[in-house]
Structure 1
């Protein structure tokens, strides 16, 4: 009997699947050049082709608030039930709430 995997990205094959026109590794520059300010609401939308600064899969599709900056990454706070979570997410994995799709 083979044990089920317990890795960081297990069960993400469908969750992280990209549209056929999105494939190709390089994200669009318009999404990378967006400057986020403290207090901006963002949606966590994980880009599976970029592994650095990738949050856990449980946060994919969730909405958070930008709290600050750390290096190239943004500090995003969100609530998971009544527990406040702090994530360090690079701009490849977040989108403004108005453009998110």
Structure 2
């Protein structure tokens, strides 16, 4: 038998599904955040640029720096603090 190849996105098809008739707008791509803003990672599977690993889906954090077109987001993962580079399409402001 041949071994099944599983990449970074393998086994995550439920998380990657988009809502019916949901579109990515230009405004979503050009979103701006200030340093210190609280954000939630909400992955848009139609755009792979700056997409964080799927384990960070739904995590909230704080914008700590601008990194080219993307932002550095500080996330608390269990008891560790991690920095994730995320494109603004995959971020929403926390309410």
Same fold flag (TM > 0.5):
yes
Q: Does 1:20 align with 2:17?
A: no
CA distance in 2, matches of 1:79, 1:6: 27
Structure 1: give runs of 5+ residues left out of the alignment: none
Write out the 4+ residue segments of structure 1 that deviate beyond 6 Å after TM superposition: none
Aligned with residue 39 of structure 1, among 29, 36, 55:
36
Moved more, 6-15 or 49-58: 6-15
- TM-score norm. by structure 1 comes to 0.84
Question: SS in structure 2 opposite 1:69?
Answer: strand
- Alpha-carbon separation, structure 2, partners of 1:21 and 1:64: 28
Unaligned runs of 5+ in 2: none
Alpha-carbon distance in 2 for matches of 1:18, 1:60: 13
- Separation of aligned partners in 1, 2:31 and 2:70: 13
